[in-house]
Amino acid sequence: MNVVIVSGTVFGAAEDVAHHAAEFLTEAGLSVTYKPRLSYAELIALDADALLFVTSTTGMGELPENLQPLVRALRDQPPAWSSMLGAVIGLGDACYGEDFCAGGEAIRELYAELGVIELQEMLRLDASETVTPADDAEPWLADFAAILTE
Ligand SMILES: Cc1cc2nc3c(=O)[nH]c(=O)nc-3n(C[C@H](O)[C@H](O)[C@H](O)COP(=O)(O)O)c2cc1C
């Protein structure tokens, strides 16, 4: 099972969570690739079985700029991903109300458009509640690993 992790970040927190997720899932026996900057061509070439997008939200509910070109490219040239598995970790701040983790929601919409099968409910990491998002993701990552290895 080949898992590719993709991240979108402004200040680096989502990248920290993605690095931690890569280590955690590798220890759980999965084959994991994580590159903080991934182009469309690189993502396709990795031939993933499962995708994990880890993204924060910026502005008023927008995806971080470093993730937008990849998302645009996936919409412009939808890959043949009908059996692709996926999950999303969203980082946000509940102070933003309706826009809480809207970046993660945007990736869920992208998954739906591309036919990616979402394996478990999106993890929402709230910056107003925790300063240890990477550690807090572990129980959710354990569930994700269990689904992928069962
Ligand atoms: C300018 C700015 C805008 C933000 N907008 C949102 C938002 O619309 N929704 C949300 O849930 N969080 C929002 N956040 C909170 C960040 O998503 C959160 O702090 C996250 O942990 C940052 O992760 P990063 O370091 O990977 O960018 C915003 C933060 C900043 C500084």
How many Å is the Cα radius of gyration of the chain? Answer: 14
Q: What pLDDT is attached to residue 150?
A: 84
Is the pLDDT at 87 greater than 90? The verdict is yes
Interval 8-50: pLDDT, tens? 999 999 999 999 999 999 999 999 999 999 999 999 999 999 9
Amino acid letter at 55?
A: T
ipTM of the shown complex? 0.99
Query: Chain-wide mean pLDDT for the chain?
Result: 97
Q: Specify whether domain 7-149 bears CATH 3.40.50.2300.
A: no
Domain boundaries, given as residue ranges, for the chain: 7-149
Expressed in angstroms and rounded, the spacing between residue 92 Cα and the centre of ligand 1 is: 5
> Mean pLDDT, to the nearest integer, of 104-121?
97
* Residue whose structure tokens are 């999950």: 87
Q: What pLDDT is attached to residue 58?
A: 98
- SS3 state of residue 92: strand
Per-residue pLDDT band for 113 (boundaries 50, 70, 90) equals very high
Expressed in angstroms and rounded, the spacing between residue 27 Cα and the centre of ligand 1 is: 29
Pocket test for ligand 1, best of 93, 105, 107, 123 (most atoms within 8 A of CB): 93
> Mean pLDDT, to the nearest integer, of 58-70?
98
How far is it, in rounded angstroms, from Cα 107 to Cα 54?
A: 9
